Structure 1
Amino acid sequence: MIEKIKAWDERVILYINRYLKHKVLDYFFIAVTYLGSDVFAIGFILAFAILPVSTVQSFALYAAVALILSGLTVGIMKNSIRRKRPFETLIELKSLRIGVDQFSFPSGHTTAAFSLAVTSALVTQGNIASSVYLILALLVAISRVYLGVHYPSDVIVGGIIGSSYAVLIHIIREVIIVV
């Protein structure tokens, strides 16, 4: 099973790298990938934390908790699994090495983007903003593969981790509000 996933990962990333690369997309995805950075995530949360409305401040707290838990999970997994990045294993890959640490699996940028996006979407349920948050998170995931710094399975698992913690924290938040 692992070998099949690895083969699929390599086929997808090499296809994107060979046939979908374009200078305009390079610049676009370099910009988009920073939406999953630590600096953006912390800035996003701090911006809401300093607003005077208590609902917004509680959102910032829950977003921070989801982000911290998902980040810890990613750190533990990266250091346990120690998967090399695509540009280290696929010689023919043309990579734009933007925002990378040592290991590839799972994608921390994607995890952070989905943690914030799903937390935000759950708060703004039914609002068009919910869709925008999720689309931006998806673009972060795509950017990581497009730039050649992650395999598709890295970003899929990162999205699952970030989303799962956001949903878990949202459920806890709802229980706290009811009690």
Structure 2
Amino acid sequence: MDYEYHMANHFRSRSIVAFYTTYPAFTVAVLLFALSSIALSIFISQSEQFLLVNQLHHPVADAAFQYITYGGDGLLMVLLTVILLFVRFKYVIYAITCFILTGLLAQGIKRTLGFPRPAKFFEGVHDLHIPPDYTVHFHNSFPSGHTTTAFAMMAMLYYLFPNQRNSPFLFVMALLVGYSRIYLAQHFPQDVFAGALIGSSMTFLLLGWFDSSTLFKADWANRRLHISVAIRPNPKQQSDGYSSLS
């Protein structure tokens, strides 16, 4: 599969529309997610939505979502970036730039608005279900940083693997990370929706700009890291070999 061919065709313009029209299954999943989120918000308040999720819990889910939530952790971003060193140098720059900018935007909004998280919002009003030995935060709820990261990573992976364009698999994985943030009482649904929007849309826009830039068409950008391993012969074996020939 020629990545350069696919990338050139997927991002012919800088518009985010170019991406969504190329990935029909993903686009349908995004639309359903957006419409359902908006519809729920019309009829059910954010606090009621959160409490509905918080009431649906199980010990197995408690353990599972504590691991799933790591899908939005910075360590996975670092791992993906290291792997991309062996694919194309320009992809490393793409990933680092997208992750940093989406993260800065999310954190900037968090610090500016300073919305309370569920544990603070419901303090003294409702006893929330929180998994045993799990620590929750109280401030800077909107938007969800983990969800922002998960959807930014999802966008990068869709870009790198065009054969997944008709599959909603990566979207579902990112969505599970977002749901885990609500389940673990770290965020409200609106925080997750905003994080998903910031992470995916901003990454798609940046990728479109990167691919239309002449800077990343240079030879250095398409090189990759090679690791060569030199195997030296054992001196003893080498000596034995010479003696057998004499």
Match of 2:66 in 1: 30
For 1:167-178, list aligned pairs within 5 A: 167-176=204-213
Residue of 167, 184, 187 corresponding to 1:147: 184
Deviation at 1:173, TM superposition (A): 2.1
In 2, distance between residues paired with 1:116 and 1:130?
16
Provide the TM-score with structure 2 as the length reference: 0.63
Residue of 121, 132, 140 corresponding to 1:89: 121
In 1, distance between residues paired with 2:52 and 2:184?
12
Matched-pair identity in %:
30
For 1:6-155, list aligned pairs within 5 A: 8-18=45-55, 20-49=56-85, 51=86, 53-54=87-88, 57-90=89-122, 91-96=126-131, 97=134, 100=137, 102-127=139-164, 131-155=168-192
Query: Is the CA contact (8 Å cut-off) linking 2:143 and 2:194 kept in structure 1?
Result: yes
CA gap of 1:22–1:129, structure 2 versus 1, over 3 A, is farther
In 1, distance between residues paired with 2:108 and 2:153?
20
Deviation at 1:146, TM superposition (A): 0.7
Q: Which structure 1 residue ranges, 5 or more long, are not aligned?
A: none
Worse overlay, 39-48 or 144-153? 39-48
Deviation at 1:136, TM superposition (A): 1.3
SS in 2 for 1:126: helix
Residue of 200, 204, 211 corresponding to 1:163: 200
In 2, distance between residues paired with 1:63 and 1:156?
22
The superposition leaves residues 40-65 of structure 1 with CA deviations (integer Å, 9 ceiling, x where unpaired) of: 2222222322x1x32xx322321211
In 2, distance between residues paired with 1:43 and 1:129?
25
CA gap of 1:94–1:151, structure 2 versus 1, over 3 A, is same
How many pairs were matched up?
A: 170
In 1, distance between residues paired with 2:117 and 2:184?
11
Mark the structure with the bigger radius of gyration: 2
**Aligned-CA RMSD value:** 2.4
The superposition leaves residues 5-38 of structure 1 with CA deviations (integer Å, 9 ceiling, x where unpaired) of: 7x621111101111x2011111111110001011
In 1, distance between residues paired with 2:74 and 2:167?
21
CA gap of 1:114–1:101, structure 2 versus 1, over 3 A, is farther
User: By percentage of residues, which structure has more helix?
Assistant: 1
In 2, distance between residues paired with 1:24 and 1:108?
25
